[in-house]
Structure 1
């Protein structure tokens, strides 16, 4: 009788254990699957370079430093990659104070009313583990239009200087038409096509930062990228 009682109990538990095991397998992520890693841009080592024709004589070259934002990315896997970044146009530097003021004036970038440019990715198409086409929406001068960038992974490894943080480095290129964004003054002097080159570094960020990043990327009304984490590196001072 004790044997029959034990056997009966085991028989009753068998189907329940099978159902529980099936549910756990269905709810578990596929083998090898993981959430994309969050990264926060380093504003000191992230810079946007732009080049535009100067009356056909040369290509004026300027830079903008101090970009803020972050992205989701797993080295070698672009499937979950997302990017949200803001570029402070008031940090523009063409190498001359008068030229800087002219570029930021109301008839061109109008930095008083539109002090930042914002890019939010919408699609990321991998070409290989180190290269991808990142497309999204660029908001510049109060106008939002699609923009695509060709992105290259430079390196993802421990930084050689203390505190030896895991660091990701990227390069990107893109081309835009300034008139598409309503910046069409001085067309006889300033070319319409603007070439962009971005060099960026970022360090690992928390999952909370990643959640804020995703919220900013999916909320069209969000005015700014995720707030910096406590203890993060401060934005550098004005460029001389």
Structure 2
């Protein structure tokens, strides 16, 4: 059997080493409710920006570096929003109508990469019984094994967005509470946390019609 010349072997090895590695397939990660936090900032009668935060979000992220096939489906417990004062919290709960709609849910429909670490993520936000489109600026922070036991593969993102609360029927206290609401989300999701129970997709029908 003839032997392959050494120069040919060297060329073949060089080609194999130079070939780009196959891109990772998108994988599903369960949202970590402890290390995912949503911050809400809204104008308070022109004096300041009131800040409220909520932990306890659940859902799923599908991701591979490069953004191809990226998806997100996250549910936020609005009844857990904390503005730092019991009476103020109760007023916010009344404004949001959390007795009937205690959760908000965002489901992505389009991810547009800007570069390796930034993308515009657009989707449908279901809030207070109304579903409207929302786009977020998202930064990919890391995808790696978590340094603490049980060493789960973990992905992390930071996101910002703005919405008009009036578009969701939240039109009370116009002289006291600003119309524009700023959102900031810090999200971690891990493999092996266990996916939450499936939630029906948000309706696009406006219940006020």
Which residues of 2 match residues 1-240 of structure 1 at below 5 A? 32=22, 35-75=25-65, 77-105=66-94, 108-205=95-192, 219=201
- CA apart distance, 1:32: 3.1
Distance in 2, Cα, partners of 1:156 & 1:123: 21
Distance in 2, Cα, partners of 1:168 & 1:71: 9
Is the 2:145–2:152 Cα contact (8 Å) retained in structure 1? Answer: yes
SS at 2:91 equivalent: helix
Over aligned residue pairs, what C-alpha RMSD do you find? 2.2
- CA apart distance, 1:34: 5.5
Is the 2:156–2:187 Cα contact (8 Å) retained in structure 1? Answer: yes
- CA apart distance, 1:169: 1.0
Is the 2:119–2:139 Cα contact (8 Å) retained in structure 1? Answer: yes
Structure 1 unaligned runs (5+)? 1-30, 222-240
Structure exhibiting the larger radius of gyration computed from Cα positions: 1
Report the structure, 1 or 2, having the larger helix content: 1
SS at 1:43 equivalent: coil
Is the 1:104–1:111 Cα contact (8 Å) retained in structure 2? Answer: yes
Distance in 2, Cα, partners of 1:220 & 1:182: 16
Distance in 2, Cα, partners of 1:163 & 1:65: 22
SS at 2:167 equivalent: helix
Is the 2:121–2:136 Cα contact (8 Å) retained in structure 1? Answer: yes
Distance in 2, Cα, partners of 1:127 & 1:33: 18
- Residue-pair matches, total: 183
The alignment's TM-score, normalised by the length of structure 2, stands at: 0.82
SS at 1:179 equivalent: helix
Is the 2:59–2:195 Cα contact (8 Å) retained in structure 1? Answer: no
The alignment's TM-score, normalised by the length of structure 1, stands at: 0.71
- CA apart distance, 1:129: 1.4
Is the 1:38–1:205 Cα contact (8 Å) retained in structure 2? Answer: no
